[in-house]
Amino acid sequence: MSAPLDLPRWADTVLVPAISVTAAFLVAGLVVLAIGENPLTATRWLLQGSLGTGEGLGFTLFYMTDFIFVGLAVAVAFHAGLFNIGGEGQATLAGLGIALVLNNFTFLPGFLLIPLGILGAAAFGAMWAAIPGYLQAKRGSHIVITTIMFNWLASVLIVYLLVNVLREPQSMNPETRAFPEQSYIPFMHDVFAAFGVEIPNSQLNLTLVLALAAAYFVWLLIYRSRLGFAIRVVGSNPSAAVYAGISPARIIIIAMVLSGALAGGLAVNELMGYQHRLLLEFTSGYGFVGIAVALMGRAHPVGIILASLLFGILYQGGAELAFEQPAITRDMVVVIGGIIILFAGALDGLFRRLVAHLFTRQKLARA
């Protein structure tokens, strides 16, 4: 995931994805035109629904928070040469950790219970990711295969627990009882109201601040620490890492543990910040979106934040677009997202070479 030698880091992190996204939207515009709709009108509704109102912006940032966490989770594994596609399962187990902590320590005050819930999410997510990491490091089991399997195992496990163990006896819904009120992460509109500022109500909560802090932590870890250097060396050349005295097996396990802990942030945002109970399928496929976010963001925290905002716009604006222009269904919005992923992933090398060529020509012209 490192930048080419002849391309500045900022260009690889920002410029290349921007060109990829622009090209993707041009192609998506042709798709919209093909079904008889105006692409400019569709774009206007997409932006109006996601950024044009305070409520829409709040929902966009709420989705962005989820995508930042899972994007960072995938990115940390990327840097170690691992393709962790188990974010869904790791976030699901993180939700279980939250429920066990919050519903068993109801006597604690909020300033203790909220951090414990976050730690419970991180611990369960890390534990669920550590097993595939260990199997890859010690047994040679491919991380892609094991993380896919663990996604399904997490799904089956959570269904069993919610139906047979954790569900309230008087309820028919497969969900836990509500978490204690002091464990709720405050909504942004409540925080602003405390300072006399009124903003529209939305699902957005203070977990956004935690997500941005996590992005800064990952930047410090990967680019400003000895552990981060070891992770990048193992990801680039495991043989060279061995000669440098770095244990690839140890780094693989550590990277997966960190990745799973970060994926747990999705559960924090959804359960402690909004749903306030553990329920089925709260991850909504966001763990898989994190793969696209990490690819588009070049596994760099800044790029991941920008890519998360883009997908937040697509998710929130897509709902408004489908309402205002029924011919463009939610499935069509998924197609647009798929086109963006195609251009940011499969065609990434094409745009990178194009930008590198332009930079080379500019250098030669100056010389």
Contact status, residue 88 vs residue 283, Cβ threshold 8 Å: yes
- What pLDDT, in 10s, does the model give residues 237-261? 999 999 999 999 999 999 999 999 9
More confident residue, 18 or 149: 149
pLDDT score, position 6: 64
pLDDT score, position 240: 94
- What pLDDT, in 10s, does the model give residues 3-26? 444 677 777 767 888 888 888 888
Please spell the DSSP secondary structure of 27-63, one letter per residue.
HHHHHHHHTT--HHHHHHHHHHHHHSSHHHHHHHHHH
φ, ψ (nearest 5 deg) of residue 205 = -140, 180
pTM of the model: 0.92
d(CA 339, CA 335): 6
- What pLDDT, in 10s, does the model give residues 109-140? 999 999 999 999 999 999 999 999 999 999 99
φ, ψ (nearest 5 deg) of residue 184 = -70, 130
57: tokens are 């912006």
Contact status, residue 121 vs residue 267, Cβ threshold 8 Å: yes
